[in-house]
Amino acid sequence: MGQRIVVKIGSQVLCDPNGALNRDVLGSLVNQASRLAADGWQVLVVSSGAVAAGGGIPPDQLRRISDPVARKQVMAATGQVRLMETYRKLFRQQGLTVAQVLTSKSDFQTRRHYLNMRGCIEALLTAGIVPVVNENDVVAITELMFTDNDELAGLLAGMVNADLLCLLSTVPGVYDGDPEDPDTQCIATWDDDKYPFEEVVQRGTSALGRGGMHSKLALARKTAKLGTEVVIADGADPEILVKVTSAERAGTRFPAQGETSPAKRWLASADGHAAGYVSINDGAAAALLDQSRLTSLLPVGIDAVEGPFNAGDVVQIRDPAGRVLGCGRARYGFEEANRLKGRRGQKALIHYDYLYLVD
């Protein structure tokens, strides 16, 4: 298997100042992705731009839709066809086939859906087909929407165990201060010990806005800790994908930190939509957070159980103060967990192999 790269292309990169698709930029990125494929990379694209591409609907048709939510759904539904046709033509010119994959957050909630989607994408990559993935805006509802396509790209990078995740933005990378300050520099390699997360976010808000900077940094750090290298870089650079896959300096790089099992990568994608939760005591919390040993969650450390959930469901783990420590796959259901809480000598509710702890 060749090296794998997930390339996330945001709306700001794809669209011109008027909100229409910038075909020159898109063509450049497709050309670069094709060059990577020729060098043996397996390329997965996460693309925004469906709503922008749907802006070509005749105004007299759009005026018939009074509901703004429905109007956006219509634009996404029609725009997705235009966007994919654009990708199809551009990649065909490079001798490559593309496939459309539309997804929603619910596809990451259950192990079965997750494995089904992973199997499909794995097959596409193995066949040398470029998956172009986007959130299914036509059916997405607020509680089941991704924060943004950065989040989706991070989840997919974990799903396919990508070697590299490239988040293309409209800035050269993460700045160590206010971008308007002439002394500010772009951070070449991220280091948690050198760059305090919240301080960098506060100082660099004028570049991406606080929300954009905060979510990108958080996502990059999380994905790197799951074993995939991440680069935040400028999507307008005509050689950016070539640079980030070579030794040439480009953007801000987040080095991968070890490897994570497929099960834990799935749990990392499911931690935001658990079926229930357990509250644990201080002793259990200390044991789970002790990096010098591998610890499962035993009933003796559980103070309270909130459900309902079934065996195999994802449950959140909270400390006595209510802080979320992580999540895991429950070995048995809510009723048995509630019956066994606080008791010694019982089988683990969450085995270490199916336990994921947040940063």
Per-residue pLDDT band for 206 (boundaries 50, 70, 90) equals very low
* 5: helix, strand or coil: strand
Q: pLDDT at residue 233 above 60?
A: yes
186 phi and psi, to 5 degrees? -80, 130
Whose CA is closest to 337, among 288, 285, 302? Answer: 302
Give the highest mean pLDDT range of 65-69, 155-159, 270-274. Answer: 155-159
- Contacts (Cβ under 8 Å, ≥6 apart) of 83: 21, 47, 49, 50, 53, 134
- Contacts (Cβ under 8 Å, ≥6 apart) of 95: 34
Q: Assess contact for 160 and 122: CB atoms under 8 A.
A: yes
Q: What is the pLDDT of residue 337?
A: 96
Q: What is the pLDDT of residue 204?
A: 52
Question: Average pLDDT for residues 272-277, to the nearest whole number?
Answer: 83
Q: What is the pLDDT of residues 304-353, one digit of tens each?
A: 999 889 998 899 999 999 999 999 999 999 999 999 999 999 999 999 99
The phi-psi region of residue 121 (left if phi > 0; otherwise alpha if psi is between -120 and 50; otherwise beta) is alpha
Q: What is the pLDDT of residues 97-134, one digit of tens each?
A: 999 999 888 788 778 888 999 999 999 999 999 999 99
Dist. CA 305–CA 303, nearest whole Å: 7
What domains lie within the chain, and their CATH numbers?
A: 4-261 (3.40.1160.10), 271-357 (2.30.130.10)
Q: What is the DSSP string of 219-264?
A: HHHHHHHTT-EEEEEETT-TTHHHHHTSSS--SEEE---S---HHH
More confident: 96 or 200? 96
Rounded to 10 deg, the angle between the 205-225 and 149-159 helix axes is 20
Dist. CA 54–CA 339, nearest whole Å: 54
Mean pLDDT of the chain: 87
> Does 308 sit behind a cis peptide bond, omega within 30 degrees of 0 on the bond before it?
yes
Q: What is the pLDDT of residue 203?
A: 58
Q: pLDDT at residue 226 above 60?
A: yes
